[in-house]
Structure 1
């Protein structure tokens, strides 16, 4: 559980740096997913720092996934938005409203319930078709990005965010299925394709359209699906008699995280004193054409 929470801290801090770098990168033309955007973002030191934090968080996530049920780790990762909100309030001087401080407390309460009620991770390997289904889902995330990038602004943000969440969810399940280094195992390729596609879609969503909507979609995509897979096929269980309380804790943690979804959005980089000005609660428009 300590590794899961530490992973959440890493991901929460990384999102602040990556969101600011994505907005500072030179905008591309058109409204779809911009493959070259990640390369332009890599020229920003903040994005590099965010990737380093993501790498550390991923290692901690792997340790957590090997010892805890997926639904616990997924809820902890969603709680990274609470970390982002707290960092934004201190570093970027973003003013949290009372409802948002309440949401931070709600997330902590949900995680506490999960910590008290969760059992050990399941030891099932799942059906034989599951790794191949994961690989198909990973490529489906890429396809979802192509289709979603052509949608109007509001549905585009939601679809790209959901796609990124599905990609991260594929990574969570793949980590549980991998058993040693075996490159004939489709789970390895599902992890690589799903993780890469998720980063691509999330980076595009951070620059284009409503980042608040995209962040909320990502939280839903990376928590609910993997949790179901863990319980149904991998044997994840709660402590005897505490199933209802674990469901309540999971729902509470995710609901609190969704309330904090606006903290996926950084201040505008070209505004004077942007780092010290409060973030606007309103939704941002699409990136300006060059």
Structure 2
């Protein structure tokens, strides 16, 4: 659980550091590509990328040690980290409801920490490995369909697709037993991890490019938590401590609800970049 929370802190802080870099790099024209080239020259943006990498390693360690439902809820809490750090570093004003949501996330994670057991002992079957690869392909197909829509429907569907892709990554990590190259090359879960992760980033980028940040992020949080948690419980043997199933369910629901209330912080870099060009308050009016 410490690794999962560490990953959430890394992802949340990385978002804010990249937001600061985007703000400093704003202006000068050249479009998004030029903005990115200016941002990567700054230590804050590079530090954010390093934190993303560290967070991914911590996520893998957590997925190999505790149930998927606990990791998913912890990762969703990165929005709370981003919100608090944004209030401090980006001078974004959090409403009383949003500060309450941060507390709700913390309460939900505390309940999950008390109730979650160890990683399930049931090994993933070959059928589940192939199912994850098929699911990764379905994420790509979902992206093709969602890209044809407009408005909130587009953002929601692409956000959900991105969440499903990240969920494929979470489950696939549990299905990879050996890191030896011959084993990886013959394990469908390894390909599912690559395809699912790549598709998730593409869909989320597309959703945030021309859609509602709040809607897309909410869809992503739902997609990357509920499905993988169900797979972990049903097929991988994830369980809670004896007699505390109710507390785990409650904690999971509370943590996700709190994260959804903070969904507007799902893409602080884009909002900060917009502020640099327009002079509006960072983070305000998302969606």
Q: TM-score band, normalised by the shorter chain? A: 0.7 to 0.9
Q: Residues 187-202 of structure 1 correspond to what in structure 2 (within 5 A)?
A: 187-202=189-204
Larger deviation, residues 8-17 vs 195-204: 8-17
Write the deviation string for residues 215-235 of structure 1: whole angstroms up to 9, x where unpaired.
000100000000000000000
1:4 paired with 2:4, answer yes
Contact 2:22 2:35 in 1 (8 A): no
Residue of structure 1 equivalent to 2:285 = 281
Structure-to-structure mapping, 1:101-116, within 5 angstroms = 101-116=99-114
1:41-190 alignment to 2 at 5 Å? 41=36, 44-45=39-40, 48-181=46-179, 182=183, 183-190=185-192
Would you say the 8 A contact 2:158–2:204 is kept in 1? yes
Which of 209, 212, 224 lines up with 1:207 in the alignment? 209
- SS of 1:269's equivalent in the other structure is helix
Q: Answer whether contact 2:272 2:282 (CA < 8 A) is retained.
A: no
- Report the Cα distance in structure 1 between the residues aligned to 2:3 and 2:280, rounded to whole angstroms: 32
TM-score (norm 1): 0.86
Is the 2:165–2:224 contact (alpha carbons within 8 Å) kept by the matching residues of 1? yes
Provide the secondary structure at the position in 2 that maps to 1:236: coil
Alignment of 1:12-27 (within 5 A): 12-17=12-17, 26=31
Cα distance, 1:269 vs structure 2: 2.6
Would the aligned equivalents of 2:139 and 2:161 in 1 still touch at CA under 8 Å?
yes
Is the 1:93–1:276 contact (alpha carbons within 8 Å) kept by the matching residues of 2? Answer: no
Q: 1:15 to 1:161 in 2, by over 3 A?
A: farther
1:175-198 CA distance string (max 9 Å, x none): 011011211000000011111111
Structure 2, unpaired ranges of 5+: none
| Count of matched residue positions in the alignment of Structure 1 and Structure 2 | 273
Deviation at 1:79, TM superposition (A): 0.5
Residues 186/41 of structure 1: CA separation in 2 closer, same or farther (3 Å cut):
farther
Q: Contact (CA 8 Å) 2:15, 2:267: kept in 1 or not?
A: no
Q: CA deviation at 1:47?
A: 5.8
Match of 1:33 in 2: none
More helix by share: 2
Once structures 1 and 2 are overlaid, which stretch shifts more, 269-278 or 148-157? 269-278
Confirm or deny: 8 A CA contact 1:135 1:189 kept in the other structure.
Answer: yes
Q: Post-superposition, which runs of at least 4 consecutive aligned residues in structure 1 deviate over 6 A?
A: 22-25, 273-276
Residue 128 of structure 1, CA deviation? 2.6
Return the offset for 1:250: 0.3
